Amino acid sequence: MTVRQVPAFSAFAIPDIPLIQPGDDIASIISDKSRAAGLSLADGDVLVISSKIVSKAEGRQVSLAEVSVSPAAAALAAETEKDPRLVELVLQEAALVSRKRRGVLVTQHRLGFVSANSGLDRSNIESGDNAALLLPQDPDASAAAVRDALRDELGIDVAVIISDTHGRPFRVGNVGVAIGVTGIAAVKDLRGRTDLYGRKLEVTQQAYADLVASAAHLLCGEADEGYPAIVIRGIDVTAPHGLASDLNRAPENDLYR
């Protein structure tokens, strides 16, 4: 009888990450805090980093007092009963408006995914009542920069995912998603493999990086947990590597937009 090895993986949070300021070196902070806690990053680990601290380090926080509201934003703000300054930022980050109604504004972000308010965030930021945090300008590049820096500093090769949280149109609650990916498959194409009964899989594609991001968010959280950097260990990083854009459904295949 063939004994199959039971797959397993582990996850841990890197503690004591400080409140990030513009210009901070995320890779260096993660390396220092890992070492101080007696934790070692290793080849094949996946480092999942909250987009919030990446945005802060990249100076993506905007003071609402400095926002000039366009006529289009003013009209949409009146329709949705939202702060016109926030709507202006939403439109600046959006490729198009997907859905709108009172209190709700869903857009296709310039990065290609669909989310509420173009991913703008006001939680867990300084002066949150008077400021908003935009997503990183290029999350794939941000992930690659952290990966390269850790390789240079520690001599290890880790995958990096920049994560955010998105709602879903037919399910309640947020889940973790990957908006920046390097060193790991974004999508695993299982078409051509067989199921337990030998049937060939014809349509199955796995949103692999999103699954990893969601696993990390069980530790990372969205409130006051304070764990924006999570290490996932023991999962497959050998599949062809991809980018976060691989996860965006092509408009011609989207039945709901």
Instruction: Say yes or no to pLDDT of 82 above 70.
Output: yes
130 plus 232 within the same structural domain: no
Q: Which of these three, 84, 107, 134, is where a domain ends?
A: 134
Is there a domain that residue 4 lies in?
no
Q: What letter represents residue 208's amino acid?
A: Y
180 and 81 in one domain? no
In a domain, 251, yes or no: no
Same domain, 154 and 200: yes
DSSP string over the chain: -PPPPPP--EEEEPP-PPPP-TT--HHHHHHHHHHHTT----TT-EEEEEHHHHHHHTT-EEEGGGPPPPHHHHHHHHHHT--HHHHHHHHHHEEEEEEEETTEEEEEETTS-EEEGGG-B-TTSTTTTSEEEPPPS-HHHHHHHHHHHHHHHH----EEEEEEEEEETTEEEEEEEEEEEESS-SSEE-TT-B-TTSPBPSS-EE-HHHHHHHHHHHHH-SSS----EEEEESS---SPP--GGGGSPPGGG-S--
Q: What is the mean pLDDT of the chain?
A: 90
- Please check whether residues 18 and 114 belong to one and the same domain: no
- Among 134, 165, 190, identify where a domain stops: 134
Measured over all CA atoms, what is the biggest interatomic distance in the chain, rounded to whole angstroms? Answer: 72
CATH number at 117 reads 3.90.1660.10
Question: In this structure, what token pair is assigned to residue 17?
Answer: 């990450």
Same domain, 46 and 101: no
Q: Indicate whether 88 and 194 sit together in one domain.
A: no
Q: Could you give the CA distance from residue 108 to residue 121 in angstroms, rounded to a whole number? A: 16
The stretch 43-68 carries a mean pLDDT of 96
User: Mind listing the pLDDT tens digit for each residue in 129-185?
Assistant: 889 999 999 999 999 999 999 999 999 999 999 999 998 888 888 999 999 999 999
Q: What integer pLDDT is reported at residue 28 of this predicted model?
A: 96
Say what the pLDDT of residue 68 is. Answer: 96
CB 154 within 8 Å of CB 47: no
CATH of the domain at 23: 3.30.1330.100
CB-based contact 130:83 (threshold 8 Å): no
Mean pLDDT of 7-28: 93
Q: Which domain holds residue 202?
A: 10-60+135-246
pLDDT at 223: 58
Domain count, the chain: 2
If you count them, how many residues does the chain have?
257
Domain-ending residue, one of 117, 134, 151: 134
Q: Is residue 254 part of a domain?
A: no
Please name every residue paired with 188 in a beta bridge, in sequence order, or none if there are none: 206
Banded pLDDT at 199 (limits 50, 70, 90): confident
pLDDT confidence tier of residue 113, bands split at 50, 70 and 90: very high
CB neighbour burial string for 151-164, b if at least 16 within 10 angstroms, e if fewer: eeebeeebbbbbbb
For residues 48 and 114, state if they share a domain. Answer: no
Tell whether 99 and 168 lie within a shared domain: no
121 lies in the same domain as 68? yes
User: What is the pLDDT, as a whole number, of residue 224?
Assistant: 63
Residues 123 and 234 in one domain: no
Q: Are residues 140 and 188 in the same domain?
A: yes
75 Cβ contact list (under 8 Å, min separation 6): none
